[in-house]
Amino acid sequence: MQENNNIIIVGGGPVGSVLALALQQQGVFFTMLEARAKGASHQDKRALALSYGSRLILERLGVWTSIEAKATAINTIHISQRGGLGRTKLSAAEHNQPALGYVLAYGALTEVLDKALDTSRVLYEVEATEIKPGEPVAQVVFNQSGESKMLTSQLLVVADGGRSLGDIVGIKREAKEYGHNALVSKVKTELPHNNVAYERFTPQGPMALLPNGQDKSTCDFSLVWTGPQANIDEVLALDDATFLTQLHEAFGDRVGKFLSIEKRISFPLKLSTLKPAIAPHLAVIGNAAQTMHPVAGQGFNVGMRDAQTLADLIINTPQTGLGGSPMLDTYNKQRQRDTRGGIMFTDLLVNVFSNDLIGVSALRGVGLGALELLKPAKSFLVEKMSFGK
């Protein structure tokens, strides 16, 4: 079976849904393909770090009010290194923002977006099996209830971050394995979070504690602990009491004792980009296009800006130009600087702060101390984290 649609979106996660909702609100016809069952993601408790810029995107779509009640504001970011002097604090108030960012459960975000979407335009429990760019349309082949189907479109958008794209003509993936894993969980601490996020650099890799409870007196944090795979596998296998002791040794006393921890999971870290992220009548956005180290929380927010930029171009492109080279070249040029900047920023932080070379710790301490004193440098960092500038 073959059908024709103006816009097809493969992937119904937050990035794909933001794109779909932006199109829906402007009366642009779309069909979205989602591998999961309807509502299956709503119980997903994985923590997302939303930048202030992503909040503005969600405000523009009219859904932030529903999301805000479920989000924890980050008013301060405390940055330090283990085993060395120097630290800096970033404050939302100093930069005239209501917050530097927000922590939100993945499922809470997808539930709000799903409620706003016209789900009659969403095909659930379908698996895309082949993506074919081409002229004058791109094609997607998918499996639905055991039957193979195909859709063609002037613009096919892949927003499925878990999809392998190695077999798409004209697109090459470049990957760098860090050899590190990330361990994520949720911990309860002795002291309340007070809407402070902590970025702690250790010789093994960065670790972060993100406030995760709407009331500032809540003592819950989301934990991201990165390091060499062998190290992370070792702490992953520890019993809870021993794990919490080692976490305290690595992190320090800023939140008091670590009292409890929920289920721990880990995954490998890599830097992955597409060259290019476009092909004839095809665009790839979000984590499907670029995967970054989680330090500084850039990856998801870069994907949100992908969706906003592409939606604006679709809305302002004549029907005959949808998915054509001029439109996609414009999209590629508009996103390159932000994407490259995010990749370079996160990669630099990992390389500079995740080693134990002689003398480097002292230099890092000087850098963190200088950052605390230099307001223009702080402003640049906040702009980068909030808007990708």
pLDDT in tens, 225-239: 999 999 999 999 999
The stretch 119-140 carries a mean pLDDT of: 94
Predicted confidence (pLDDT) at residue 1 exceeds the cutoff of 90: no
E-strand stretches of 106-243: 122-124, 126-132, 138-144, 147-158, 172-189, 196-202, 205-211, 220-228
Question: Judging by beta carbons within 10 Å of its beta carbon (0-12, 13-18, 19+), is residue 357 exposed, middle or buried?
Answer: exposed
Whether residue 290 contacts residue 272, with contact meaning beta carbons closer than 8 Å, is answered with yes
Q: Report the candidate in 124, 81, 73 with the shortest Cα–Cα distance to residue 101.
A: 73
CA dist., res. 329 & res. 324, Å (int): 8
The fraction of the chain above a pLDDT of 90, given in percent, is 65
Confidence of residue 354 (pLDDT cuts 50, 70, 90): low
Q: Residue 332 in contact with residue 324, Cβ under 8 Å?
A: no
Average pLDDT on 50-74 reads 96
How does pLDDT run across 148-175, given as a tens digit for each residue? Answer: 999 999 999 999 876 655 568 888 888 8
The residues that bridge with 4 in the sheet, in sequence order, are 152
| pLDDT score, position 367 | 53
Average pLDDT score over residue span 328-357: 77
Q: What is the mean pLDDT of residues 65-89?
A: 85
Residue 52 contacts residue 386 (beta carbons within 8 Å): yes
Residue 16 has pLDDT above 70, yes or no: yes
Q: What is the pLDDT of residues 267-319, one digit of tens each?
A: 998 888 888 899 999 999 999 998 887 766 678 999 999 999 999 999 999 99
User: Where would I find the beta strands (DSSP E) of 281-352?
Assistant: 282-284, 290-291
Q: What is the CATH number of domain 2-66+106-174+271-350?
A: 3.50.50.60
Residues whose CB falls within 8 Å of the CB of residue 195, separated by 6 or more in sequence, listed in order: 72, 73, 74, 75, 76, 99, 211, 216
pLDDT at position 356 is 54
Instruction: Give the C-alpha separation, 364 to 357, whole Å.
Output: 11
Extents of the domains making up the chain: 2-66+106-174+271-350, 75-103+178-268+364-387
Which CATH code, of 3.40.50.1100, 3.90.700.10, 3.30.9.10, 3.30.530.20, is assigned to 75-103+178-268+364-387?
3.30.9.10
Contacts of 182 (CB under 8 A, 6+ apart): 224, 225, 226, 232, 266, 267, 269, 294
Q: Over range 201-218, report the average pLDDT.
A: 88
pLDDT value, residue 47 = 92
From residue 67, alpha-carbon distances to 23, 62, 112, 220, 292 in Å are 20, 10, 7, 19, 25
How high is the mean pLDDT of the chain?
A: 87
Task: Look at residues 295, 307, 98 and name the one whose alpha carbon lies nearest to residue 315.
Answer: 307
* 2-66+106-174+271-350 and 75-103+178-268+364-387 have identical folds: no
The two counts, helices (H) then strands (E), for the chain are 10, 20
| pLDDT score, position 2 | 42
